[in-house]
Structure 1
């Protein structure tokens, strides 16, 4: 299999060929590009064997055509917050009043000590 610069590379077929031709020897200095496989891909090919490039996609991770893993942040599902009920509003007002009282007492204690 030969590859030229003007043709589109099919990385999956290259990976499959690499899996079958582990002992690649170059003849007359002609290269088909398989010796340029990253070390991560070669170790995954050795570790996964026949399951290479056949993994189901994981949540937040993908595998590109060369077999390299790409990890992405998983975005949470969005939802709209509802307006608080009257009882929740009273609870928030009570918590706010307690917080203001606590801050005021802390400031008064600081001024009294200094």
Structure 2
């Protein structure tokens, strides 16, 4: 089966010849695509039977048309932030003052040592 370089290749007849050589016969020259199914998908189809291509129960996972799993991040529910109360604002101010004193102490210590 050799094919010379030709601009008028008949791919349907080539597919029929290849199919006949492999024991498959293409009746209309078209195939159902089963020869294009990856081996791991075919083995998973046999293994899972009726459960093949059913969606997972876990959130964020889907199965595509080839039976391969796609995992997506589950997005958290959106909510509006709440402005801090005056008591929380005082706590934040106190934490900021403590952090400022700590950083200033570290910088002064570094200058004193060097």
Q: Is TM (by shorter chain) over 0.5? A: yes
Aligned length: 90
Deviations 1:22-71 (A, max 9, x none): xxx61269543201102332232132122112344531111123322222
What residue in structure 2 maps to residue 26 of structure 1? 24
What residue in structure 1 maps to residue 92 of structure 2? 92
What residue in structure 2 maps to residue 13 of structure 1? none
For the residues of structure 2 that align with 1:71 and 1:113, how far apart are their CA atoms? 53
What residue in structure 2 maps to residue 80 of structure 1? 80
For structure 2, list consecutive stretches of 5 or more residues without a partner in the other structure.
1-22
The normalised TM-score by structure 2 is 0.67
| SS at 1:70 equivalent | strand
Point out 4+ residue stretches in structure 1 off by more than 6 angstroms.
Answer: none
The RMSD of aligned alpha carbons is: 2.1
Gap change, CA 1:28 and 1:87, over 3 Å in 2: closer
What residue in structure 2 maps to residue 48 of structure 1? 48
The normalised TM-score by structure 1 is 0.67
Instruction: Check whether the contact 2:64–2:70 (CA below 8 A) recurs between aligned residues.
Output: yes
